[in-house]
Amino acid sequence: MDREIENVKLSPDIAPIHQLTAKVFAIDTIYMQEEWVPRNCEFCIDDLDQPDWYYPFRDSDFIHVGGLGGDRQLLTCILQGAYRYGLTPRIAHANTVSGAAHRMACWKYGTATHGFTDVAEHVYRIPLNTERPMTQKSVVVGWADGFEAYSMDLLVKHLGKRHLEVFLICAAARQALRKGVEGWLEM
């Protein structure tokens, strides 16, 4: 969903289906200035961190949540609400280059200008869902075990999380992947 000057424009994958019949809600935890709200959009103050966030939108055909920004608690609540409501969530990379992502795109140039030569930059998209061909599945499963161990070390030692909390985070991620969420990690 893209906000234009006066209207909300639906993404190309759902626009042909709903055209002008779509009822668009903008949701945030703080109130948006009225002059910024497009005419075909109804603004709601709500908290997607709450367990029953989906209730006001239960008659919706499509729910798009953007800008998670790595917020694990928000992702957990969104997935739990989606499963309770009977939705099949899909997670997709927005594929935009801005902010931190823009800085990453400049790394190769920055290292080359500081005297490094033969700079090679590789970006890998690793599927987290193990419903893949057998060779790829074995690589993903082996990698995921190590990733959990590194997550534990990083989150407990450096970010001050509790062991139990990290175990629960990893278990929730595994469960979501088993239920069919398409997760990808870019490295």
Kindly state the tokens that stand for 171: 């278990």
Domain range list for the chain:
12-114, 125-186
Q: Indicate the SS3 state at residue 148.
A: helix
**42-94 confidence digits (pLDDT tens):** 766 666 667 677 767 767 766 766 666 666 777 788 788 777 777 777 766 55
**170-182 confidence digits (pLDDT tens):** 788 778 777 777 7
The candidate with the shortest Cα–Cα distance to 25, out of 6, 5, 11, 45, is 45
CA dist 2 and 50 (Å) reads 25
